[in-house]
């Protein structure tokens, strides 16, 4: 038990400022970089397999969009409706990996040894609520996106710390939404700028011929953790039963 307390006393917490949170996230990402890449490879490989199953050729789709003069109908492409629904379901089922990466970051921050199996803690702890939260936040984002791209940018900060709340507080999906919303609402300027910079860095990999997204996309999960630490304090290291 003394070892557990020792780990809890270690680790850093950023100030409630965007610069401090992003800097903290960079420091944390160094420790889990490889695991973040693994999570992204799993996600991209799954998406590629789904494309093959439904016969969707994303390269030719992009080419058609360029040559259509703005008259491209995405839903008329063969296999696209089924592919879109299956991809969404696949993304939903992989959302516990986000929680796993956040769990690993906290272990790195508290100087606790990290194991590969930690990446899958979201499938063992609070799994149903993680799925429900991912579903609800996805619906909220889709509604905002339907209104225009801009509302998504303003809505996303309200969801920023939902996953850490689900993990460290074992909260229900609705409680995680409410708590994330309330804290973000009270500190909206910081949350907005932090989420914007986090997303900007996460998609920066597209510049490197697209493949760089594997390296940068997981950064957003680390931003969520650092933001949680800044406003709710460094969480205690949680323990879980590795046997399913």
Q: Which residues contact 164 (CB under 8 A, 6 or more apart)?
A: 102, 224, 225, 227, 228, 232, 235
pLDDT-wise least confident of 30-39, 165-174, 205-214, 229-238: 205-214
Residue with tokens 């969520």, as numbered in its chain = 224
Q: Which residues contact 220 (CB under 8 A, 6 or more apart)?
A: 198, 199, 201, 202
Most distant pair of Cα atoms in the chain: their distance: 67
pLDDT surpasses 90 at 41 = no
- Residues 137 and 231: their CA atoms lie apart, in Å, by 21
pLDDT tens for 133-145 read 999 998 898 888 7
Segment 144-161 shows an average pLDDT of 83
What's the pLDDT score for residue 146? 75
Q: Ranked by mean pLDDT, which of 48-52, 80-84, 91-95, 210-214 comes out on top?
A: 91-95
pLDDT tens for 109-133 read 999 999 999 999 999 999 999 999 9
- Select from 154, 182, 165 the least CA-distant residue to 225: 165
Contacts 24+ apart (CB under 8 A), 47-54: 47/87, 47/90, 50/83, 50/86, 50/87, 50/90, 51/83, 53/86, 54/79, 54/80, 54/82, 54/83, 54/86
Query: Domain locations in the chain?
Result: 2-69+76-232
Token duo for residue 28: 């944390």
pLDDT-wise least confident of 31-40, 180-189, 220-229: 31-40
Tell how far CA 174 is from the center of its chain. Answer: 18
- Residues 44 and 209: their CA atoms lie apart, in Å, by 15
- Residues 93 and 68: their CA atoms lie apart, in Å, by 34
Cβ atoms of 61 and 237 closer than 8 Å: no
pLDDT surpasses 60 at 159 = yes
pLDDT surpasses 70 at 242 = no
- Residues 26 and 36: their CA atoms lie apart, in Å, by 13
Cβ atoms of 100 and 85 closer than 8 Å: no
Averaged confidence pLDDT in the chain: 81
- Residues 47 and 53: their CA atoms lie apart, in Å, by 10
Reported as a pLDDT band with limits 50, 70 and 90, residue 91 is: confident
Query: Is the model more confident about 50 or about 144?
Result: 144
Phi/psi at 28 (nearest 5 deg)? -70, -35
């Amino acid at each position: 038990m003394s070892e557990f307390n020792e780990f809890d006393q270690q680790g850093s917490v950023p100030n409630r400022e965007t610069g401090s949170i992003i800097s903290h996230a960079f420091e944390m990402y160094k420790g889990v970089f490889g695991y973040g890449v693994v999570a992204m490879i799993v996600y991209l490989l799954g998406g590629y397999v789904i494309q093959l199953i439904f016969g969707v050729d994303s390269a030719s789709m992009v080419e058609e969009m360029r040559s259509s003069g703005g008259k491209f109908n995405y839903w008329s492409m063969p296999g696209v409706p089924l592919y879109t629904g299956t991809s969404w379901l696949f993304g939903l089922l992989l959302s516990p990996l986000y929680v796993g990466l956040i769990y690993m970051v906290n272990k790195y921050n508290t100087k606790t040894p990290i194991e590969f199996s930690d990446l899958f803690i979201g499938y063992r702890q609070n799994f149903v609520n993680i799925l429900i939260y991912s579903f609800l936040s996805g619906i909220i984002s889709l509604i905002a996106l339907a209104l225009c791209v801009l509302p998504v940018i303003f809505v996303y900060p309200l969801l920023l710390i939902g996953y850490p709340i689900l993990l460290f507080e074992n909260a229900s999906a609705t409680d995680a939404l409410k708590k994330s919303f309330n804290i973000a609402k009270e500190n909206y300027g910081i949350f907005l700028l932090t989420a914007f910079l986090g997303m900007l860095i996460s998609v920066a990999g597209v510049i490197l011929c697209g493949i760089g997204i594997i390296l940068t996309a997981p950064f957003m999960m680390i931003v969520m953790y650092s933001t949680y630490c800044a406003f709710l304090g460094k969480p205690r290291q949680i323990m879980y039963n590795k046997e399913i």
